[in-house]
A and B are shown apart, each in its own frame.
Chain A
Amino acid sequence: MNILRRTVLKGASASGVLAAALTAGLLKPTQVLAMEWNKAAFEAKDTPAAMKAVGAASTAESKDLKLNAPDIAENGAVVPVDVTSNIPNTISIAVFIDKNPYPLSAAFNFANGAMADVALRLKMGQTSIVRAVAKTSDGKYFTASKEVKVTAGGCGG
């Protein structure tokens, strides 16, 4: 579990197991709020490229990764989504929206007792697959996805 490792460690000539351990998170290991925002991942224009940029080039579907989102969103500007990983040793979760201009919406690293569980709210431009990716401490990636329909119209309630 290395989310707070300094960037400098990542550059060390670590290899094999050690390298995997040092770069464990989906995010680049950095200092708190002097973190390096993963520009390449957030500016990738399709999900495969964004996933590659966070290191999740190959993933396996998992029933133990739960993505709870509405079948149909009342308003695409605020779509509530929860992701819970019951996969042991999950250290990171990232969320992608396939049809958004920039699919990667957020990535979270968990440490010091934080459960692999996050609730967040997304902006969706149109009906799309929402995809969660979980990473385990041994460097494996798992996914779960769900289509969320986005409607338009209606009045102020």
Chain B
Amino acid sequence: MRQALVAAAAFALAISPAIAQDKPAAAAKPAASKKAAKPSAAPVEEKDAATLEFEKFRAKMIEEGNPAELFEAQGEEMWKTKRGPNNVSLAESCDLGLGVGVVKGAYVQMPRYFADAGKVMDAERRIVWCMVEKQGFKEADLHAKPFASGTYTPEQTSLVTYVAANSKDMKFAVPMKDPHVKDVYEVGKEVVKHRAGPYDFSCNTCHGADGKRIRMQQLPNISTQKGAAMAVLGWPGYRMTGNVMLTHQWRMGDCFRQQRFPEPKYASDTVTALLTYMTANANGVTYTGPGIKR
């Protein structure tokens, strides 16, 4: 018990730079955090040898062939095929913000406001909206198992991968001049500060200051353009662990899980707000297309 308290204190100390404006973390800590806490107490080098090695070989793998391309190909076929109860294709019915059927450049300009839905939506949410509103799929079905696992890949994941691939080498340009988008951005900025859960974490506990890491991985500071770019680039991504294609929506849900929060509702305002905050912070950075993730 004494040991646990000491460890908890060390952990609170380690994360305090991130939460200087808040009270110190009071909750007990998970065993795994002990490892994370120690190295982050000292300043972390910009990039260590292992990180550089990982980046080098990831870049090589993307260049030589990313299995994400298999999902992109499936998504392209789905986009162009008449499907659903309404027997209509997304290519002839879905407006991703640049006109019906236009995919080129759409991903890097989302989240954006869609007047027909009266909401700011990220790419995945918009695609699901089109599948429901235009093709007639049931929302409950699309929400039932929204992320890949094992050999199962949801259709919207392949569609997002296709749409995202069509923004490769283009700059992020979330339309922040639109007051709707700006409002949602501000909500996102609040969400990342919100501390909750059994460990009293917020997104900013790990991602609100420079130089943090967990085990071998450096943690991006998403309040900066550079850090936000690190967090946004590579999604949707082919994850080597489990060999599945996962979207940025999935990553947000997984961050909630890692914080021991209840899972956010799929394609919800909260997730869109987070994605708006992060993606807009990365505005101006060139999107490198669907990635490979650990």
The residues of A with any CB-CB pair to B shorter than 8 Å are 70-75, 77-78, 80, 119, 121, 151, 153-157
Contact = CB atoms under 8 A, between A and B. Distances in A.
Given A156-B246, A156-B251, A75 B294 contact: yes
A46 B216 CA distance: 31
A119 B56 CA distance: 15
**Residue from B57, B215, B251, B258 whose CB has the most chain A CB atoms within 10 Å:** B57
A80 B217 contact: no
Nearest to B54: A74
Interface in B191-216: 214-216
A119 B62 CA distance: 13
B20 interface: no
A157 B294 contact: yes
20 contacts: A74-B53, A74-B54, A74-B58, A74-B240, A77-B241, A77-B243, A78-B240, A78-B292, A80-B60, A80-B64, A153-B215, A154-B214, A154-B216, A155-B217, A156-B241, A156-B294, A157-B234, A157-B237, A157-B239, A157-B293
**Residue from B50, B214, B234 whose CB has the most chain A CB atoms within 10 Å:** B50
Given A71-B53, A72-B53, A75-B240, 19 more contacts: A70-B53, A70-B56, A72-B50, A73-B57, A75-B294, A77-B243, A78-B240, A121-B61, A151-B216, A153-B215, A154-B214, A154-B215, A154-B216, A154-B294, A155-B294, A156-B246, A156-B251, A156-B294, A157-B239
Interface string B221-250: 000000000000010010111010010000
Interface residues of B, number: 26
A82 B215 CA distance: 28
Contacts of A74: 53-54, 57-58, 240, 294
B77 interface: no
A80 B214 contact: no
Contacts of B54: 70, 72, 74
A153 B50 CA distance: 13
A155 B212 CA distance: 14
A119 B60 CA distance: 11
A69 B177 CA distance: 47
Given A74-B294, A78-B61, A80-B64, A154 B240 contact: no
A75 B292 CA distance: 11
Contact of A80 (B50, B57, B216, B293): B57
Contacts of A155: 214, 217, 254, 258, 294
Contacts of A80: 57, 60-61, 64
Contacts of B234: 157
B249 to A, nearest CB: 13
Nearest to A78: B240
Contacts of B216: 151, 153-154
Nearest to A73: B57
B216 to A, nearest CB: 5
Contacts of B50: 72, 151
A154 B51 CA distance: 12
Nearest to B216: A154
Contacts of A73: 57
**Residue from A71, A80, A119, A157 whose CB has the most chain B CB atoms within 10 Å:** A157
Interface in B38-86: 50, 53-54, 56-58, 60-61, 64
A14 B2 CA distance: 78
